[in-house]
Every structure is written in C-alpha cells, then in structure tokens.
Chain A
Amino acid sequence: MPASPHIFGVRHLSPAAAWHLRQLLDRVRPKLVLIEGSDDADELIPHIVSPKSKLPIAILAYTADAPVRTFVYPLATYSPEYQALVWCRENKAKARFMDLPASVFLGLMDRDDGTTVLEKDKPEEPEKKEKEKPTLAQTLGVDDEEDDAAPIVEEKPRRDSVYDKIATLAGEPDYETYWERHFEQLRADDTYLNAARSYGAELRSMEDFSTRRAAENLVREAYMRRKIQHAIADGFKPEQIVVVTGAFHATALGPELPPMTDEELAKLRKREAKMTLMPYSFFKLSSQSGYGAGNHAPAYFEMVWNGFNKNLAASLPTLFLTNVVRELRTSGTFRSTAEVIEGVRLAEAMADMKNSLPTLRELQDAAVTLLGQGDSAVVRESLLRVEVGTAIGALAKGVSQTSIQDDFYRELTRLKLDQFKASVKRELDLDLRENRRVKTAEAAFLDLHRSSFLHRLAVLEVGFGQQLTVRQEGTTWAERWALQWTPEAEIAIVEAVLLGETIELAVAFKFKQRLEKCTSIAEAAVIIRQACECGMSASIELARQTLQRLANDSSDFTALASATYELGLVIRYGDVRQFDAEPLKPLLEQLFLEGALSLVGAANCDLASAKKMVGGMNELNKVALDYTALIDEALWISELQKLARADHLNPLLSGYACALLVERSLISNEELAKEVSRRLSPGISADLGAGWFEGLAQRNRYALLTRLALWEQLANYVASLTDDEFKRALVFLRRAFGDFSPAEKRSITENLGEVWGGNPDTVSEVLGEELTEKEKKKLDELSDFNFEEL
C-alpha cells in the first residue's frame, strides 16, 4: 500500500485549527499543500495571498446562465485554509485546491429535472433562494455540521440534531460552546489533529450514508483522493504533502480507498461556472447562520487568533470585556473598570467549573451580569459590535471581476461619475431636463441617465448614492444625491450578479420578484414609481398590469387613494423622464373611480381610521385637481357632497369633506352657516358636533377665519348651551382648536369678540392682560373638571 500524506482535519474558520496547522507545516515542511476547495479556483490563489488583499474575502462561484446557482467560500485570517496558503507563499511551497470543480458543485445543485435541490424544503417561498447564497459548506455539507441535504439560511434551526445532543451530553448550553471549550482551547502539539480526527471518525460512524448529501460527500472524497494521487504522480512524495480538509473527511482520504476514475468524473452533471474573488465582511460572515463553522462571532475569533500568535490567550477575557465596556461608554452607558475586573473574574470562575478557559459564552454572561447589571438589553448592541465586528475585506483593483461589476464601472465612466467613487461623501445636483446647449442626445440627457442609474442602484440596495430632499417641493426635474463609495457597496454589487448579468437586468429581475409577491395596491404603485425613476419601461408595464389586477379586487379606500396619488406623480414625471405615460392614464382613471366610489362606504369608521382617511381624501383631491381632464371630477364632488351631508358617517370626515367643498367654493356662505348651525344644534351630542367642526377646521383656515357668519353660528351655539352642556362641549371644542397657531386663535377670539359686540382692539388688549386672581381661579376649576365622568 502506498504511503499516506499528512492529513489534517480542520473545522473551517477555526483559529485553533489555523494555529495547529501552521505548527504542523513548520515541522513537516511540505513541498505541496492540498486544500479542500474547488480546484478551478487555483488561479485565484495568488490574489488571495497577495499583500494587497485584506481579509475577509470570499470566492464566489456562479453559473453563467439561468437558473442561477451560486456558492460562496468565505475566508478570514483565522481560516486554516488561508493560513495554509499564506504559509506556502512564505515558504515557497506549492498550494493547490483539491475539491470538485465549481462547475460540478453548481451542477450538483440541480436535480435531474432541473429544479434546485435547495427548493425541496421550502417550496412556498422560492423567491428567497436567489437572495440567500448558501455557502459552499451549506450546500454540499462540506463541513461536518449539517445533517440533511437542504440547509438554508434562515431556516429554523433543527432541534435535537446530533450536534445539540453532543452539546447536551457534554453539559454545554450549545454546540458552539462545546466546540470552543473542547477544541479551540487545545494547545499541545498534535492534540488538535488527533482530536479532530477521532471526532470526525465518530461523526462518520453515525452518518446515514443513504442520503443525497452523504452521497455527495462520497463523490467529493473520491475526487479528492484522485487529486492526491495526481499529486503523487506529479512527483511529490506522499510525506512531502499536507492535506487540509474538513474533519469529517480526514479518515476517508487515505490511499486505501479507490480514487475517482475518468469515467466517473465524466458522468457528473456540470454547469458552466464562473469564479471570482469578492470582498467580504465580518457582518456577512456572521449572518450566514446556517453555516456551523463557528463564524457567528468573527471579530471574537480574530481576537482569539491574535491571542494565539502573540501568546496572549490568557488575557482574552480582559481584552474582550474591555472592548465591550468601551463600546458601552461610547453609546452613553458608563461602567467602571472595577466592573470589568469583576467580569473577568466571574467568567474565569464559571469556566473553572468546567476546567477550561472562558469561552465566548462565559464572556457574554459575565458582560450581561456585570456590565449590563443583569439586563441583557443594555449590552446587546455593544456585545454584537465586539463579537461580530465591522471589518470589511478589500481586494486590489481589478481582482474582483463579475459581469455586473464591469457593467457598473462602464456605466460609471459613461455617466462621468468616476470622480464620485471615493470614500468622501460628495453631493451631486441633477437637472433632469434636456440640456439644449449640447450637441449629442447622450449629453443632453446626461443627468437623467445619471438619475436612472442611481435609482437602479438604490433598488438593488447598493449603498452608493443616497437621495436627499430637494428644497423646492414638487419639482419633478431636480434631484440631489449624496454619493459615497464603500466596500459594502462593492459587495452588494457583486451579489447583485445573482439577479442578473448587468445592472439593468438585475433591476428588472428584482422588480419582477417584488411584483410576484406583491399583494397590496399601494406597494404596486410604489413599484411603478420606482420603475419610472429607474427608467425601466418594461418593468413599468409589468407593474401596471399587477396594479390593475389588484385594483379590481380592492376597495380599501386609503390604499386606493395612495396608489392613485403615486400614479399621479409618475404620470407627472412622464415628460421629464422621457417615457410615454399614456398607458398609465386609463389606470389612473380606474383607480380614481374606485377610490371615489369607496369613499362613502369607508367613511363609516372610528376616529383612528378616520384620521388615516383624511390623508387619503387629501391625496385623491390633489389628483382630482391635477388631472381634471382625465378623471371624473363630477363624481368626486358628488361623493364629497354625500359625505358632507351625511349624519350617520364619521363626523370628522363629513367635516373634512365639507372643508374640501368650501375650498372649491361649492358651498355658499349661507349654506355653510346653516350647516354649522345644524351640526352644532343643542340637541346633537357635543362630540359629534365638535368632531365635525374639527374636520372642517383641518383645511383652509383662512377661508374659515374670514367668514364671520360661521363664527356667529358658533357664538350662538355656545350661548345656547346650558352649563353642563357647555362643559361637555368644551372638551371637544378644545380639541378642535388645539392645533391652531396662536395667531389663528387670536383671530378667532377677535371674530367672536366682534360677534359679541366688542371692538377687535379692545379684545386683543383684554387678552394681552395678565389674568386676574378670579379668572385664574375659574380656569383652575376647569382643570379640576373631571373629563372622565362624561
């Protein structure tokens, strides 16, 4: 039997594995290191270890055509794989990846019928799939962590998995703590290697080899053996080779098992694959929660890794808790150094009960007990910052290249925005109108195209540009943006490749997804507006169809009103944004009609909903004024009149409808006075009357203030009340006038003063005077007045 190379079983993203691996490499001094990872990524190795690359980074593999399949292979400084690559560069040894090529991995994600394997468990929400990229380990069970074929991010954690059982048996609260205590704290030579090896073998013995995932594992192992054989055939002696693989595979890569044959390899399903490096972030690393490789706290693990190298592991608790307390102080909660000291002692005492050094779990508990004073909410955010961290990777220019990045940079140059790709925030004012002083059409609409481009990025959630409000309200042609380039934005762009090859395609796909799950007309209308801002006429049409379909089934007044309003805005944009708004007009007409018709029915509601409806009525009224020619204004007015006259509907809305009619001069002074008097007659309960008045007073107050007849009626009403009734009415009248400005209140009193026979000047004079004792007493009596009794 041929000799076996050194096989080192690791857990991915494990600082202890990285440290022990480097020790082993220093001892063995191999000529070749084989690493678990797609072997077609070999050409990326120089970029990975380049001094210009700042970790975390990730290898992204994706299919060239639809349906898009992807996987991500993240690397941090404390990844054993990364440290192996770095060691090879430092010691001029060769490094190769040895796992199945990405084309096969991506091929394996398809079932024979072409659907994705991942969809098995979640058929009800397939659209999520595109966004969440399972990591390599997740998809294929690279790691020894997952026990079925479809682990998906955000899936509910499986209870009672074999890992939970291990943790329970070991008396640990969770599997991560178990791992950290039993593996990450190992120091002596070879302890990690042996522990991981026997751990992997134990797991293997419990494995059910009939599942698809297990079958994939076997295929991968056969391929890895093949690669090892190739390496030996290339002239490397087995003892000069170190193999870095997941602990689960450590016992299955020896020469005693057969390697994959050429025929077997040819049979594997393949998809054309592209690979690239992308910058990654600690936040993303930690949010891949399904990936059980101990990366829930990247910044903490990096701290552990630094501890290994500087031999500072003993002060890890001090470092950790000091960092937490510093974060706490910056966020405004002061905690003393004494509490940090006690926290370190507590963490050590708790770990001592388990004969170990403190793990993250003990540090968290100590932070909650001492720094949070028992309340975890106090320290949660600071803890997250110290555990997860904010580090973002970076790559040398030109290394990360996906088609969508190419597209992005091309557009950037075309739109003369290159100068804005800087880490300093700069503002950009856009004038969307045609620039008639330039010659080419391209230049004439430069700002318009810039705007579309920035809106598209916003839809893709790429944090490059942020739209600011323009002071001049209602201008459709002016926009102001704040542009700032961040590595996070680059990550977002790379991720968008999953939606489409270019920015435009990705945005179109995103709109399509959103429309497919869209159930409210208000949302559909927002999508129409966004599509219009993005200059995507095909998406507008798609959204229009969705909106029309939804509008047919809806009679929700508020939603209809806001959709109508949004649509109105879009049509108004039409000229400026150079697209044909004609197809939208019939829809506006339809929406307006349905909105207007549902008004009276919806007005039979309580006060809380009425307040929302006021907004809707305002919006519909604006549309009615803007598009008089397009919509059925007569209908709107007649519905308003119905509402204004009705006594059985919400009085606030009746009052508001009345105000809208007053604004349009459709109610004469006498009619208004009559209506006020009718609404405020002594027989009607005070809350109805005052509620109506409140609605009336919400609009065009100047128009009301100048109508003396109205105030005469109000004065008569007040005069006609008995003392008890007055007290009752006072509550509601107070509410009605509550949000008038002092100047308006003054002019009301002047009006009333005039009605009661006073001279405006004397009235203001009286009001300006200090209160007399007697008046004060009267007012105080009113404050004692028990409103509850009413």
Chain B
Amino acid sequence: MPKETNDDLRQPGEILFAEELDALIKAEKHHVPAGWRMSPRSVLTYICGGKCGKLDITPKYIGHQRLVEIAISTLVTDRALLLIGEPGTAKSWLSEHLAAAINGDSTKVVQGTAGTTEEQIRYTWNYAMLIARGPSNESLIKSPIYRAMESGSIARFEEITRCASEVQDALISLLSEKRLSIPELVTEIPAQRGFSVIATANTRDRGVNDMSAALKRRFNIVVLPAPADLETEVSIVTKRVSELASNLQLKSEIPNEDAIMKVVTIFRELRAGQTLDGKNKVKSPSGVLSTAEAISLLANSMALSGNFGDGTVSDNDLASGLQGAVIKDDEKDIIVWKDYLSNVMKKRGATWRGLHSACQSHVGE
C-alpha cells in the first residue's frame, strides 16, 4: 500500500475517519462476520451516523438509510453489490466507505474505462521476469480483485459500465464460482470468506455500455436516488463543502446557508424541470446538474473568492460558477439559463436580487 502522508490531495476514508472506525471496533458488541472488522450494525452506524460511546459518528451518507441497510446486508450474504445512479448520487462515496468500514481498506480499486482489459480484472505478468524465468508466482502481477479474493476482503470496481461488455463479463464466473483460475500455473485460487465486489455504474452519461443480463444477475442492485428533498440536499452540500474546504485549505469563508440554499434550489429546479412549489415549468439544460456539481461549484466559488476576492463568497463568485454549471456544450443551455433568470429568479424578490443581477451580467445582457 502506498505510504500516506498529510500532503495527499485526498485521503481514503479509512484514514480520514480512522478514529471513528477504531472506536466502533473497540465497542463492538454484535457478531462480526468472517473477514469483517466490525458487525453489520456498526457499519451502518459508521455510514449513517450515530453515537459510539461518547464519540459522535458523523453521517457519511445522508438520507435513504434503508438503501444502506440493503447494501450492507448484501455484502453479509457474500453477494456482489452494484450501486447504480445518476452522476453525483454518492455511489463511489458510499462504496469507498463501505469498504473502509468492513475491511479498513478501500484502496483495492479497479477504475473502469473504455480501455480497461480483462488482465486488469484478473492478473497480468511482469513480462521481463516472465521471459527470464517463465510463469511463476513471482512473475504474476495480481489485480485488485485477485488480491481481494486472496485476502477475503472487498474489491471495488468503479464505473463498471464504462468497460466494454466483454471485459465486464470476466467477472461472471469469478462471482459465481468464487474461484480464479490461472491456467499458466496449472492452479486456481479460491476466494476467502469475506470476499465481495462493490461495483458502481452510471445511468445517464454518454459512452457507457450495457451490462449483460448474466452479470446483472450476479449483483444485488441498489439504485441510489437523487436527494429526496431540499433540506437533505442542502445538508449534504453543506457538509461536503466544509470538508472540502479544510481538505483543500481554501482560504475563504464557507458560503453561508443562504447561498447554499440558493444554489441547491436552482439545481433542483432545473433538474426537475419545474419550480419547487410545482407552479411553474422551467426548461431543463442538457447537463445532469448533480449534487456533486453543486458541491464543486461552491468549492470553486470559495477558491475564487479566497484567491482573487475578499475571502467571502459573493454573488458574483456564485454567478460565474452557476453559469459554467448550467451552460455546457449546448447552445440551447444558454436559452434555458436566460429563461430561468428572467422567468423564475427575477420574480423571487429582494433576497434573490443580488444573485440575479450578478448572473444577468455574466450572461451578458
């Protein structure tokens, strides 16, 4: 495992929340499944928040506790778990923290791309050594999934649908037989208890491949929805933005709740195609406008104000971010945004006036 230092841009969950994990393991009262570090209940507490002795466990995933319960139970039954959802619904986030809590190691990851090959899922060779000594255990390079099977832990497969369908299907027999055969060494390795795979997949982006029915059948599928209501989404955004701010050492104040509320409101309205009160229809832009984008927009505004402004997030900082988030490649997005500004935002009264005029001047009218 690579050495972790404090200058890492982003630390994995098990290091960031090491204190909470240790406390939970120490206070464990329930049955711990083979290969796990803590009981399913403690995993649930770690993810959804709660108390452990005197320590407050911060919630990592807000809303939809039931889905987390399904996810954890899936892993208890040694089934593979597939998290599906629109971009920015915290799929990878949930998958990382599940692995962090269950194994204390969320780094056995296959990052799926169009260029992922079957070797990256199974194993490959150190070719110099292969030529010099022939096939042997030493010349074998194990994939993260291989290592997870060996050690009885959880491997993560990010963006599985970005891989070609044939490559995805390499998982089929792995998941049903729970063995990985290595014909070159005339052997196969059995998966140890505790082995499982958490895959994540995207439903809305371009450039994703379908999953075969055979592979789907080997997963328990949990669909992560967009946050159900404004309050949940605001609290998710607030929490993540403040975490990012300390992580990235942004020299700016956290945007106030009002600003976050406005950004989330705009995102939700454009996403749903209607105003929150359901009275007005608005056009939807081509982009997804996920919660994750709202978070990065606010972090971006903080960076802007910290480095070039007065250190507080102004309407102007938000406006440039908003325009960038809403208007993607499509020309129609400009019309959508202008419509929204004049039909909805303008009519919102005094509290929105500052943001409205800032946005208006960015659009150039």
Contacts and interface: CB of A to CB of B under 8 A. Distances in A.
Interface of A: 173, 336, 338-339, 342, 345-346, 349-350, 352-353, 365, 369-370, 373-375
A374 B199 CA distance: 14
Contacts of B76: 349, 352
Interface string B205-224: 00000000000110011110
Given A336-B217, A350-B69, A365-B70, 10 more contacts: A342-B77, A345-B77, A345-B79, A346-B77, A349-B74, A349-B77, A353-B40, A365-B69, A374-B221, A374-B222
Contact of B221 (A345, A350, A352, A373): A373
A342 B222 contact: no
Most chain A C-beta atoms within 10 Å of own C-beta, residue among B72, B77, B217, B222: B77
Interface string B17-45: 00000000000000000000000110010
A346 B221 contact: no
B66 A370 contact: no
A374 B223 CA distance: 5
A173 B63 CA distance: 12
A153 to B, nearest CB: 24
A568 to B, nearest CB: 38
A371 to B, nearest CB: 10
B32 to A, nearest CB: 13
A461 B242 CA distance: 59
Contact of A350 (B73, B216, B223): B73
A342 B220 contact: yes
Interface of B: 40-41, 44, 65-66, 69-70, 72-74, 76-77, 79, 82, 84, 216-217, 220-223
Contacts, number: 51
B79 A374 contact: no
A370 B79 CA distance: 11
A350 B82 CA distance: 17
B72 A369 contact: no
Contacts of A338: 217
Contact of B79 (A173, A342, A352, A353): A342
Contact of B220 (A336, A353, A369, A375): A369
B71 to A, nearest CB: 9
Contacts of A369: 70, 74, 220-222
A517 B79 CA distance: 56
A367 B65 CA distance: 18
A241 B84 CA distance: 59
Contact of B41 (A342, A353, A375): A353
Nearest to A355: B30
B76 to A, nearest CB: 4
12 contacts: A345-B77, A345-B79, A346-B73, A346-B77, A349-B73, A349-B76, A352-B40, A352-B73, A353-B69, A365-B66, A369-B70, A374-B82
Contacts of A342: 77, 79, 220
Nearest to B82: A374
B236 to A, nearest CB: 20
A693 to B, nearest CB: 33
A370 B81 CA distance: 11
Nearest to A338: B217
A519 to B, nearest CB: 21
A393 to B, nearest CB: 35
A338 B222 CA distance: 18
3 nearest A-B pairs in the assembled complex, by CB-CB distance: A374-B221, A349-B73, A350-B73
B220 A346 contact: yes
Nearest to A347: B73
A374 B84 contact: yes
Contact of B217 (A339, A349, A375): A339
B85 to A, nearest CB: 9
Contact of A346 (B44, B70, B223): B70
A373 B216 contact: yes
Contacts of B216: 373
Contacts of A370: 220
Given A369-B220, A369-B222, A373-B221, A353 B73 contact: yes
A609 to B, nearest CB: 18
Nearest to B31: A352
Contacts of A353: 40-41, 44, 69, 72-73
Contacts of A373: 216, 221
A173 B68 CA distance: 13
A365 B40 CA distance: 17
Contacts of A349: 40, 73-74, 76-77
A350 B44 contact: no
A788 to B, nearest CB: 14
Nearest to A365: B70
B70 A350 contact: yes
Contacts of A352: 40, 73, 76
A349 B39 CA distance: 12
B203 to A, nearest CB: 10
B74 A346 contact: yes
A338 B213 CA distance: 13
A76 to B, nearest CB: 28
Contacts of B217: 336, 338-339
A454 B335 CA distance: 57
A369 B222 CA distance: 6
A369 B79 CA distance: 12
A373 B82 CA distance: 10
B220 A173 contact: no
A342 B222 CA distance: 14
A346 B222 CA distance: 12
A158 B34 CA distance: 44
Contacts of A350: 69-70, 73
Most chain A C-beta atoms within 10 Å of own C-beta, residue among B41, B65, B73, B82: B73
Contacts of B65: 173
A342 B73 CA distance: 11
A334 B84 CA distance: 21
A790 B74 CA distance: 57
Contacts of B77: 342, 345-346, 349
B198 to A, nearest CB: 14
A342 B82 CA distance: 14
Contacts of B84: 374
Most chain B C-beta atoms within 10 Å of own C-beta, residue among A338, A345, A365, A373: A373
A175 to B, nearest CB: 15
A350 B70 CA distance: 7
Nearest to A339: B217
A375 B70 CA distance: 14
